[in-house]
Structure 1
Amino acid sequence: MISSAIIVFREMLEISLVLGILLAATRGVANRGRWICAGIAAGLLGSALIAVFMEQISMAFEGMGQEIFNAIVLLVAAVLIGITVVWMHKHARELSAHLRQVGSDVTQGLRHSSVLATVVALTILRDGSEIVLLGHGLLAAQQSVATLLLGGLIGLVAGGLVGLALYVGLLRAASRHIFAVTSWLLIFLCAGMVSQAVKFLSAADVVPSLIYPLWDTSAILSERGIVGQSLHVMLGYSARPSGMQVLCYIATILVVGSALVLSRKDGWLRSRLFSGAVAAAGLAILLFATVRPAFAIDKIYSPIVEGGELELETRGTYGFDDESDKDDAYKQLFGIGYGFTDRFAAETYAEIEKEPEESTRFEALIAEARYQLFEQGEYWLDSGAYLEYEYKPRDGEHELEAKALLEKSTSDWIGTVNFVIAREIFGEGGEPWEGAVRWNALYRISQYAEPGIEWHSEVEDLDHMGDFDEQTHVVGPTIHGKLCDNWKYELAGLFAVSDEPSDFTVRWVLEYEL
């Protein structure tokens, strides 16, 4: 009820502001009331049509992925909330000035009075459609129709009263505080919707849940009680959340909150502060991901792309262990890649592999694409995205892998982190989500030698992570550099810190640039 009241109040307040400004600016205009009423009627009619359309979509999806549909509605609603909060905070003054100018033009006869109906209709249509969509999102988040309607009625009356007060000038000074409070309440509501969407997507087996449950506070504050249910709907409280829910909840607050706070700062300062917030979010995810890490040993990718560069590469790993079922494990990849632009590069590989106590065999064909999101050094943290497709002819398996690539460089140090998520596709369904974290820190002695340390972790099933020793964790020294102008190398010696991997693994990369 509280959340629906906040939503309707926020949208009604915006409608009331528009109406109040137009009414104040068009005093004395003949038939202004008729045109404004016509605009209100048109806006309400459009919102009603959208409500009917939303119901038809919901019925069409009934029994055919309702969880996915609900998740989409919640995510769209969350995006609308975030955009509206930031946009209104940034452009409130410009909006007010524009509407005053419209009213003045109508008063002076520069525009036909029908423009009043158009402005009012578009305002009500936009805000009314948002109320419809957000209300459907609250229903998807398990709020009852009765509480939704009651909360909406409360918000409607409260928003109208505040708008009336604003019209007569009683709350002119306090209106900014009202927007500030409701904006932050809506940010938490937005984060809660994202969290609920992730829950639906996890139930539909679209995204991994990571650790479930991350905690259980049902005995302290149940979601079934009045307080727990109110917090659940308004703030996204969950007594038994998954790790992915918590991650997305925190990330939403960081991103939308940072955008709100920085929306009126100058461009240079805003970009630096926002990139710092993104870096903080990345660090939080890294700390969370390494609470219960696991490990796949592979190349750690930089987000930086060299346009016009053709490279030949080979890389691999070799494991040593006292136990025969872990000793003599070997993997080697041979590939060719090209930087098509300063932002985009693609590579293809052929992989051979030798399992312990087995012979070497051809394992897979791999195609990968890497995209650099920003110019190097434009923000505090360089970032990129990576997508890989792998086909194993022998087993007939197909796998997609995605990575977030982050890197921070100084005059003396380079730090790189890869967050990895992968899953088999085109299977029978129910295949586990795999995840990994890989990072290194290198010290720049010269271009020929950059020693450092690296860590690799992998979880073979993010929904059932198991004990620490059942996962793969390795850490050890590494050195990167150039052999000459065209040759690059990487060499690492990695020691197991869990029982799953080989006791010691050698990792290498050799590249030739044309």
Structure 2
Amino acid sequence: MTLRAAAFALAAFGLTIIGSDTAVAEFEIQESGVEKGEVELEYRGAVHWGFPRGEEAEEGEEGGTFEEEEEGEFLRQSHDFEIQYGITERWMISTSVGTDEPLEDNYGVSGVEVELQYEIVEREGNGLGLAFTGGYGFATRGGEADEIEFGPIVELASGKFLLTLNPLFGAQVGEHRETDGLGFEYGWRAQYNFAKKWAFGAEMFGEIEDLSNAGSFDDQQHSIGPTLFYMPGGDDDDNGDDDERKVGGPHEMEVSLNVGVQFGLTDFTSDTALKFQGSLGF
């Protein structure tokens, strides 16, 4: 009953945001673990407030070019819906549908991504977990480029502390690409399990669209903030990792929820964002 209630709350939250007039965008931290035969459904969303450069342009800053350059860079809201499946003990495949509402456009589907992940080092309790991921994103809006993305997923655990790193490289492909070189996107999470089912932590996200023309720090997207985690199936001795998770047999249903706030560190980032994520694995 607890799991059903959590799943219902997750769905209700997503529908509430989609039907609201507030603003949102997704933030993702990928984990290194892979479990054969496991299916995981995940929702990611975030609501954004404060768009400094857009406000300056609306107030009549000279030069229409400035406003055109910034158009579409900010999101009022976005929602990602993903499904993952463990093909083998090491390989996992996932597909996701991204939806969003840019500052100067209507809400709609922004892209579809297919991704493969290979677990190189399995983390069992404390220690290192390492995986490699690669994916292809299909743009669904006219005039936007497809994208490829790849990079490592690193986990470092010690007692009740878990550090997860997602340094990823990407590139635009196709006739609509606007950059010729690689881009860089990162996310990291420092998490401390203070109770059996609860944890708190800090998360930071950032993006450099083109490494060959990165510009100044203030021209990039960077944000940081606190996050609260609720894990009904969590264990405060091993950061929620089950030592028997790869033993054959039916998979237990697991729910994981987290909510956090991100604060923009640059003019190219929204002032604040409320983020919410939830997953259901079985």
**Count of aligned positions:** 219
> Would you say 1:420 and 2:188 are equivalent positions?
no
| Counterpart residue type for residue 314 of structure 1 | Y
* Contact map agreement 2:156 2:162 (CA 8 A) in 1: yes
Three-state SS of the structure 1 residue aligned to 2:27 is: coil
* Contact map agreement 1:300 1:416 (CA 8 A) in 2: yes
Three-state SS of the structure 1 residue aligned to 2:121 is: coil
Compare the two structures and name the one with the higher strand fraction: 2
Match of 1:493 among 261, 267, 271: 261
Q: Return the alpha-carbon distance in structure 2 between the equivalents of residues 402 and 426 of structure 1.
A: 17
Q: What is aligned with 1:503?
A: 271
Three-state SS of the structure 1 residue aligned to 2:213 is: coil
Match of 2:44 among 306, 311, 315: 315
> Would you say 1:459 and 2:208 are equivalent positions?
yes
Q: Structure 1, unaligned stretches of length 5 or more?
A: 1-295
* Cα shift at 1:378: 9.9
Q: Return the alpha-carbon distance in structure 1 between the equivalents of residues 193 and 151 of structure 2.
A: 25
Match of 1:345 among 66, 86, 92: 92
* Cα shift at 1:419: 0.7
Q: Return the alpha-carbon distance in structure 2 between the equivalents of residues 361 and 462 of structure 1.
A: 29
Compared with structure 1, are the counterparts of its residues 508 and 446 closer, same or farther at alpha carbon in structure 2 (3 Å cutoff)?
A: same
> Would you say 1:411 and 2:140 are equivalent positions?
no
Compared with structure 1, are the counterparts of its residues 350 and 451 closer, same or farther at alpha carbon in structure 2 (3 Å cutoff)?
A: same
> Would you say 1:375 and 2:104 are equivalent positions?
no
Q: Structure 2, unaligned stretches of length 5 or more?
A: 1-24, 56-73, 234-252
Query: Deviations 1:389-426 (Å, cap 9, x if unpaired)?
Result: 10012236321001211110111100011111100123
Q: How does 1:103-114 map to 2 (within 5 A)?
A: none
| Counterpart residue type for residue 164 of structure 2 | T
Match of 2:31 among 282, 296, 302: 302
Query: Deviations 1:488-507 (Å, cap 9, x if unpaired)?
Result: 11222110111111000122
Compared with structure 1, are the counterparts of its residues 357 and 443 closer, same or farther at alpha carbon in structure 2 (3 Å cutoff)?
A: same
Three-state SS of the structure 2 residue aligned to 1:492 is: strand
> Would you say 1:479 and 2:254 are equivalent positions?
no
Cα RMSD, aligned residues only: 2.4
Q: What is aligned with 1:449?
A: 198
In percent, how many aligned pairs have the same letter? 23
Q: What is aligned with 1:386?
A: 133
Three-state SS of the structure 2 residue aligned to 1:370 is: strand
Q: Return the alpha-carbon distance in structure 1 between the equivalents of residues 165 and 40 of structure 2.
A: 22
Q: Return the alpha-carbon distance in structure 1 between the equivalents of residues 154 and 75 of structure 2.
A: 32
* Contact map agreement 2:126 2:157 (CA 8 A) in 1: no
Q: Return the alpha-carbon distance in structure 2 between the equivalents of residues 507 and 362 of structure 1.
A: 19
Compared with structure 1, are the counterparts of its residues 367 and 359 closer, same or farther at alpha carbon in structure 2 (3 Å cutoff)?
A: same
Q: Return the alpha-carbon distance in structure 1 between the equivalents of residues 26 and 41 of structure 2.
A: 20
Q: Return the alpha-carbon distance in structure 2 between the equivalents of residues 356 and 494 of structure 1.
A: 18
Q: Return the alpha-carbon distance in structure 2 between the equivalents of residues 341 and 354 of structure 1.
A: 36
TM-score for the superposition, normalised by structure 2 = 0.71
Query: Deviations 1:307-329 (Å, cap 9, x if unpaired)?
Result: 22111111122211164838861
Compare the two structures and name the one with the higher helix fraction: 1
Q: Return the alpha-carbon distance in structure 2 between the equivalents of residues 344 and 422 of structure 1.
A: 21
Larger RCO, structures 1/2 (Cα 8 Å, 6+ apart): 2
Compared with structure 1, are the counterparts of its residues 328 and 298 closer, same or farther at alpha carbon in structure 2 (3 Å cutoff)?
A: closer
> Would you say 1:361 and 2:108 are equivalent positions?
yes
Q: What is aligned with 1:79?
A: none
* Cα shift at 1:339: 1.1
Match of 1:433 among 174, 182, 199: 182
Q: Return the alpha-carbon distance in structure 1 between the equivalents of residues 116 and 209 of structure 2.
A: 23
Q: How does 1:100-499 map to 2 (within 5 A)?
A: 298-321=27-50, 323=52, 325=54, 329-377=76-124, 380-395=127-142, 397-427=145-175, 431-483=180-232, 486-499=254-267
Compared with structure 1, are the counterparts of its residues 297 and 360 closer, same or farther at alpha carbon in structure 2 (3 Å cutoff)?
A: closer
Q: Return the alpha-carbon distance in structure 2 between the equivalents of residues 450 and 320 of structure 1.
A: 26
TM-score for the superposition, normalised by structure 1 = 0.40
Query: Deviations 1:236-272 (Å, cap 9, x if unpaired)?
Result: xxxxxxxxxxxxxxxxxxxxxxxxxxxxxxxxxxxxx
